[in-house]
Structure 1
Amino acid sequence: MNKSLNILTLEPYYGGSHKAFLDGWGQYSRHEWTILSLPPWKWKWRMRHSAITLASETEEQIRGGGEWDIIFCSDMLNLAEYLGLIPQAIQKLPSVVYFHENQLTYPVAHPQEFDFHYVLTNLITALAATEVWFNSLYHQNIFLEELKDFLKRMPDFQPIESVEDIRNKSLVCHPGIHQLPKRGKRAPGPMRIVWAARWEHDKNPELFFDALRILKTKKIEFRISVMGEQFRQFPDVFTTARQEFSDHIDRWGYQKARQDYDDALLEADVFVSTADHEFFGFSVLEGAAAGAFPLVPEKLSYPETLERDAGNEDFYFKGDADQLAKRLVYLSEKIGNNNLWDGEPDRAVRIVEKLFWKTKTNLMDNELVRIIKEKEKG
C-alpha cells in the first residue's frame, strides 16, 4: 500500500476548514498533489462557476505535462459539470468528493435563503463521484436521511434510489487535526474557559453568555477567551457580552497568529461548545488535543468524536444555560481542588490523538491507493 499517486485536487473554496484539511493532509502525505483552488469568497458563485474555471485551469496543467491518477474534490464543486468540460482521459479517472458540509442541512438565518439548486449540486456531485467521503458518521446519516425526504418533494421523476446508491459508495473519514505541544504546569488563577467558533447564530453564543451570567450571580470566578472567525455582520450578543464581561476577558475575537490561538487552548481549563450545528467540530477537538476539558452538547458529531459511549459522559451537558452553568460550577470546584481530570490529565488527548495528521495521513493515503487498485481490477 506504499504506492505514491499523483492527485488532481479541486477546491473551489480554499479557506477555513477546507484549506486546513488539504494543508494538513498534504504536509504528511506520500502522494504528489496538484491543487487547483479558488479564494474563499462568495460561496454561491463558487459553486456555480468553479467547474468552468477549474476545467480551464486543468487544461492549462495538461498543456504543461500534468498527469494524474485520481481526482479529489470538495462538495463545493459540481463534479459532473467539471467532468463534462475536461478531456476524456481525465474524465476516466476515479474521483472522490469530500463532504465538509452540505447545502441541505446547513442552517440558514432565514428560511427564504434556502436554495434547493445547491442541494441538487451536492446530489449530482455525489452521484458523479467514484466514492463519497463524509467528515463524520453524523454528517453522513443526517445528509442521506434528509436527502430522501427532499427528493420526495419533487413533483415527479423522484430519484429516491440515488440515496442508496450514494450510501453504498460512501466512507466516513474524519479529517486530521493540528497537534499541539504538551501543556506545562497550570498557572494559578480562576477557571479559564475558551469558546471558539464562527460568530454566527448556529453556534448559539447566547447560550454560552447566559451560562456565564449564572456564574456571575453565583460569584464563581472565571476568565474567558472568546475566539473564532467573524464576518462584517455578526450576532449583537457579542458586542453586548464584550462590555458585560470585560473584567473577565483574556482574549477576544479572531486570533490572526496561529500561535496566539494555540496559546489560548494550552492555557484553557475548559473548552465549551454551544453549537446547534456542527458536522465535525475542529475547534473542540483541537481544544481537547491541547488538554482542555471539553464541555459540549450531547448531540451532533460530539458523541462520535469524543467517544461518549467509552466512559466519557462527563464531557456533555444537556440542554439549557442552567445545565451548562451547573457543569461549569462543578468543574470550577474540581479545578480549585486541583482534580479536574480525576487523575487522568491526558484523557482527552488520548481520545483525539488518533486524529493527529501524522496518524491520519497514512490511512487516508492508503484509501486512495485502494480506490486505484479496485478500478484496475475492474
Structure 2
Amino acid sequence: MTSILMLSAYRSDSHALWATSVQHHLTADWRCLELPGRHFRWRIRGNPLSWLPELHALLQDWQPQHILATSMVDLATIKGLFPALAKVPSSYYFHENQFAYPVSSGQHHSIDPQMVQMYGALAAERLLFNSMFNRDTFLAGVDELLQRLPDHVPEGISTLLQQRSACLPVPVAPIERRPHGARSRPLLLWNHRWEYDKRPDLFLQLLRQLQQRQQPVDVALLGGRSQSVNPALEIIRQEFSGWIVVDDYPDRSQYLHWLQQADLVFSCAEHEFQGVAMLEAVSAGALPVVPDALCYREQYPPQCRYPAGDMAAAAERIVAWQQLPIVDISNWLQPATGEMWRQWLAAIR
C-alpha cells in the first residue's frame, strides 16, 4: 500500500471537501496534516513553521513514498527543512493560484504568495490543477512575473512546469435530483460566500434588474458569511424581503434540500477555479447562469453564460430561464473524477 503524506495548509470548504473525498476514495496509507482556513498571508508563508513539531514527530517512525500538497503549502521550504522529505516524489495540487486571485481593497499587494507557489511547483514532480483555467492562468502568471524580475532569470521555467501539469478536478458527489411542483415564479439560488471575490454587490444589481423587468423570483440566500454582515446582503434583505424564502448558512441536510428545490443557480464571481458550489447545485437540477469567463467556459454552454459584469444581460437569461438547456457536467462529478484520481494513484506507485 502506497504511503502518502497529505499537506493542506488552508482547510476551507472546498479544501476540506477535497482532502476528505480523496482519502475516502483512494486506498493508501494516508497521513494528513491540515491548518485552519484563516489568516491567509500567515498560512501561505508560515505553514512549514507551524508544522515543525508534527512533521518531526511523524517522521520518527514513518516515511512517505509520495507527498500530496496543496498550493497553499510552501513545499520547497518543507523539503529543505526535512532531509527525509527532500527526495520524496511530490504532487502539488492547485485549488487556486495566486496569479489569478483578486486582491481585496483591504489587502496589500505582494509577490510572496506567487513566489511560494512557483517554488512549490518547481519542487514537485507533478502539478495538478482543478481546471484548465487554473492551469493556464498559473502558467501565464509565472511568465509575466519572470519577465518583471531584474536579472539572472533562467529560461524555460513555464515550459518545464507545463510539462509536469495535468487537470484533475476535486471529486464532487452528484446530488440526487428531486422533482418539485410548479411554482408561480422560479427559485433562484445564491450559494456562494458573501465576500468580495464572489461579488454580492453585482447580485444586488441583478435583483434590481429583475425588478425593473417585473420578473419577481423567489430567492434562496445560502453560502458562508462572516460576523459582520456584507453590505449587499443587508440591502437585499431590505429591498427584497418579499422575495427571500431562506436566508441562512444551514447544515448540510438543509443545504441539500434547497439545492434540490432550486430552478436556477447564479454566479457573478470574479474568481472561480472549479466552482464546486455551482457544480453541486447543477447536479441537483438547477440551471446555471454564469459569467462568460473563468472555469465556467469549460463547464457550461454559451446559452448559460452572460458577459462578465453585465447584470442586464444576466437578467435576460433569467427572464427566459425556461429556454436554458439541461447541462451535462458528468465529467466534473463522481464517478468520472474518482476514476481520474485512481489513475493518478496508479501512476505514482
Please indicate the TM-score interval, normalised by the length of the shorter structure. over 0.9
Take 1:186 and 1:295, find their aligned partners in 2: how far apart are those partners? 22
Shift of 1:67: 3.1
Distance in structure 2 (CA, Å) of the matches to 1:201 and 1:52: 30
Distance 1:185 1:110 in 2: 42
The corresponding residue for 1:363 is: 340
Question: Which of 298, 305, 330 is 2:299 aligned to?
Answer: 305
Distance 2:147 2:229 in 1: 35
Matches within 5 A, 1:72-151: 72-88=68-84, 90-110=85-105, 113-151=108-146
TM-fit CA distance, 1:189: 3.5
Other-structure match for 1:24 = 21
Tell me the secondary structure at the aligned position of residue 190 of structure 1. Answer: coil
Q: Work out the CA distance in 2 between the residues paired with 1:192 and 1:68.
A: 49
Q: Does 1:43 align with 2:33?
A: no
Distance 1:91 1:317, change over 3 A: same
- By how many angstroms is 1:96 displaced? 0.4
What's the CA shift for 1:281?
A: 0.9
Please list every run of at least 4 consecutive aligned residues from structure 1 whose deviation after the TM superposition is greater than 4 angstroms: none
Question: What is the alpha-carbon distance in structure 2 between the residues aligned to residue 80 and residue 278 of structure 1?
Answer: 26
CA distance 1:84–1:44, change in 2 (3 Å)? same
Query: C-alpha separation between the residues in 2 aligned to 1:34 and 1:153?
Result: 39
Using the alignment, how far apart are the partners of 2:50 and 2:155 within structure 1?
31
Q: Distance in 1 between matches of 2:227 and 2:180?
A: 38
Confirm or deny: 8 A CA contact 2:267 2:290 kept in the other structure: yes
Deviation at 1:370, TM superposition (A): 0.9
Residue 307 of structure 2 corresponds to which residue in structure 1? 318
Query: Is the Cα–Cα contact under 8 Å of residues 304 and 317 in structure 2 kept in the other structure?
Result: no
**Aligned partner of 1:67 among 53, 63, 69:** 63
Q: Kindly, what percent of the aligned residue pairs are identical?
A: 28
The match for 1:269 is: 263
- What is the CA–CA distance in structure 1 between the aligned matches of 2:72 and 2:167, rounded to whole Å? 18
Q: Distance in 2 between matches of 1:148 and 1:37?
A: 30
Whole-Å Cα distance in 2 between the matches of residues 236 and 160 of structure 1?
47
1:171-230 deviation digits (Å, cap 9, x = unpaired): 111111132122133353411000121212222222222222122233223100122122
Tell me: CA distance 1:42–1:222, structure 2 relative to 1, closer, same or farther (3 Å): same
Query: Structure 1, unaligned stretches of length 5 or more?
Result: 335-339, 373-378
Matching of residue 294 in structure 1 with residue 293 in structure 2: no
**Which residue type is aligned with residue 208 of structure 2?**
R
Please give the alpha-carbon distance, in whole angstroms, between the structure 1 residues aligned to 2:3 and 2:36.
23
Aligned partner of 1:221 among 216, 221, 237: 216
Measured after TM superposition, the shift of residue 121 of structure 1 is 0.7
C-alpha spacing 1:293/1:8, structure 2 compared with 1 (3 Å): same
1:243/1:112 Cα in 2 relative to 1: closer, same or farther (>3 Å)? closer
3-state SS of 1:148 partner:
helix
Alpha-carbon RMSD across the aligned residues, in angstroms, is 1.9
Could you list the runs of 5+ residues in structure 2 that have no partner in the other structure?
Answer: none
Between the two proteins, the alignment pairs up a number of residues equal to 348
Could you say which residue in structure 2 is the equivalent of 1:354?
Answer: 331
Q: d(CA) in 1 for partners of 2:87 and 2:221? A: 48
**Residue 375 (structure 1) aligns with:** none
User: Match for residue 249 of structure 1?
Assistant: 244
Moved more, 141-150 or 128-137: 141-150
Q: In terms of mean alpha carbon deviation, does 135-144 or 351-360 score higher?
A: 351-360
Normalised to the residue count of structure 2, the TM-score between the two structures is 0.93
Q: After TM superposition, give the deviation of residue 111 of structure 1 in Å.
A: 8.6
Contact 1:25 1:357 in 2 (8 A): no
- Whole-Å Cα distance in 2 between the matches of residues 283 and 360 of structure 1? 16
Check whether the contact 1:10–1:54 (CA below 8 A) recurs between aligned residues. Answer: no
* Deviation per residue, 1:256-305 (Å, 9 max, x gap): x0111111110000011111221111111111111100111111111112
